[in-house]
Amino acid sequence: MKRALLAVRAAILWVLSLLHFFIVTPILVFLGIFLDPRKHDYLQRGLCRRIVFLSGARLEVQRSPGFDPKRTCFFMVNHINVFDPFFLYAAIPQFARGWELESHFKIPAYGWLMKRFGNVPVPDVRRPSDLKRMWRLTQEAIDGGTSLIIFPEGKRTRDGHVGEFQDGGFRVAQQLGIPIVPVSLVGSYQHHRTGHWMLWPATVTVIFHDTIDTTAMKKTEVTQLRDRVRGIISEPVEARLSATGHHEA
């Protein structure tokens, strides 16, 4: 009986979340045509907070003492499900955008929003000219005071564990001297799992770890940096999985 009630709850939450998203997003896209997105950033954050609420989750934020909330950076984050960007944008204490696969810009409503608001396209086919454009847009975003969210796994986890990280974002950070903030999304897997439709009651904690400076790093240190960041991010995620037996059903 309890599972049936949870299933009904999840169905209602999906309907409410999707309705809210597809009603509000066109308004934000329209505003983005005429206004600098920074001028109505509070509206975007409001959308994200309401999506979090309507998905049935609770959001908590933790900041390590060495996290600098004012420093423009790369936020490196583990990736679990479609709600991750909403949790992150509701929690990040500064203006931020993200690296987004270029093919995602073709998704109705979501893609229009991502493109209009200045997310950096990551080419699906990595031709030199496309990569140069990505590096240029990344540099322009950072120089303009816009931090970028990056999911270094390149895909969503299917089992809750943090996957292997790709080198790309770390190479760019090292080459351009962009600081990195490892961010752990803890509890997102217990809330919603990619490949399933259920939304479980859960608390999702966004943990901002110490900011890592990259200005003095060499190319030969990129792999070490990648593995270090993955270790920092995965520790609280794996601890939560162990404590809950992978789920809270």
**pLDDT by residue (tens digit) across 150-207?**
999 989 999 999 999 999 999 999 999 999 999 999 999 999 999 999 999 999 999 9
C-alpha closest to that of 170 among 232, 229, 230, 226: 226
Domain residue limits, the chain: 2-244
Bridge pairing between strands 147-150 and 74-77: parallel
Q: How far apart are alpha carbons 47 and 165 in whole angstroms? A: 30
Of 15-24, 36-45, 69-78, give the lowest mean pLDDT range. Answer: 36-45
Q: What pLDDT sits at residue 110? A: 66
pTM of the shown model: 0.91
Give mean pLDDT, residues 112-133. Answer: 77
pLDDT at 143 over 80: yes
pLDDT digits (tens, 9 = 90+) for 50-100: 999 999 999 999 999 999 999 999 999 999 999 999 999 999 999 999 988
Query: Pick the residue with more confidence: 107 or 139?
Result: 139
What span, in angstroms and rounded, lies between the C-alpha atoms of 159 and 214? Answer: 31
pLDDT classification of 247: cutoffs 50, 70, 90: very low
Chain-wide mean pLDDT for the chain?
89
Q: Which two tokens stand for residue 38?
A: 């920074």
Return d(Cα 80, Cα 163) in angstroms, integer: 10
Distance CA(161)–CA(233), nearest Å, equals: 11
For residue 109, the model assigns a pLDDT of 65
Report the alpha-carbon distance of residue 207 to residue 55 in Å, rounded: 20
